[in-house]
């Protein structure tokens, strides 16, 4: 029972790279529209002004670095993970952050297709794509790590359930700090 609880909490901590990438993109964002301001075949923006190259790259870097530090500490303490070499943990962190912001971009792509404006509240479309793609990227890049931590799928369900709350909290904070125009 105790081992299970530790492994569940460990899985949550190991997901930090994906979680940090989003606020990282808010901080680093603003320069160079990923879709170059262009429209899709439906005449609507491909992604919109909210998806920038500096946000994408900067968010991935910030998520990767912060996540790597956390994973290294966990590994050092034998907390949920042990015996991983640094390069593996760096890749785990990179792919979680990369998958996270790629999923975030796909969420925006879908939002534009269904007529939702940039920054319009997308509810689960603002939250689940980044979680799903972070896990997908990790699963493809580091399957051993993925199954060691998330093989029982408990953490995946917990993360899907708690991200809407986390997301809301973080966005209210970003709004108060004038990093976002709307509190969601």
Task: Kindly indicate which of the ranges 47-55, 61-69, 74-82, 151-159 contains the residues binding ligand CTP, using the contact rule CB under 6 A.
Answer: 47-55
Residues with Cβ within 8 Å of 43's Cβ and at least 6 positions away in sequence, in order, are none
* Residue 33 lies near ligand CTP (rule: CB under 6 A): no
* Alpha helix stretches (DSSP H) within the chain: 2-14, 16-28, 53-76, 86-113, 124-141, 143-150, 154-176
Among 20, 26, 131, 134, binds ligand CTP (CB under 6 A): 26
Residues 65 and 141: their CA atoms lie apart, in Å, by 18
Residues in the chain, total: 184
Other CB atoms within a 10 A radius of the CB of residue 162 amount to 12
Among 93, 96, 111, 134, binds ligand CTP (CB under 6 A): 111
Residues 100 and 8: their CA atoms lie apart, in Å, by 20
Task: Kindly indicate which of the ranges 2-10, 76-84, 104-112, 132-140 contains the residues binding ligand CTP, using the contact rule CB under 6 A.
Answer: 104-112
Among 101, 131, 138, 149, binds ligand CTP (CB under 6 A): 101
CB of 19 to ligand CTP, least distance (A): 13
Q: Which residues bind ligand CTP (CB under 6 A)?
A: 25-26, 29-30, 48, 50-52, 55-56, 101, 104-105, 108, 111, 118-120, 122, 126, 180
């Amino acid at each position: 029972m105790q081992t299970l609880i530790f492994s569940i909490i460990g899985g949550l901590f190991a997901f930090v790279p994906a979680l940090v990438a989003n606020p990282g993109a808010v901080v680093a964002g603003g320069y160079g529209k990923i879709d170059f301001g262009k429209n899709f075949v439906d005449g609507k923006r491909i992604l919109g002004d909210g998806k920038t190259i500096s946000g994408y790259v900067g968010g991935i870097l910030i998520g990767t670095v912060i996540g790597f530090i956390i994973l290294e500490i966990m590994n050092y303490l034998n907390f949920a993970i042990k015996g991983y070499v640094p390069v593996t943990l760096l890749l785990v962190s990179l792919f979680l952050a990369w998958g996270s912001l790629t999923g975030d971009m796909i969420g925006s792509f879908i939002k534009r297709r269904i007529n939702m404006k940039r920054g319009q509240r997308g509810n689960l479309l603002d939250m689940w794509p980044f979680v799903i793609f972070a896990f997908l990227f990790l699963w493809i890049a580091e399957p051993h790590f993925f199954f060691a931590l998330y093989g029982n799928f408990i953490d995946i369900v917990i993360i899907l359930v708690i991200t809407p709350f986390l997301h809301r909290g973080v966005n209210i904070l970003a709004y108060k700090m004038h990093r976002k125009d709307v509190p969601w």
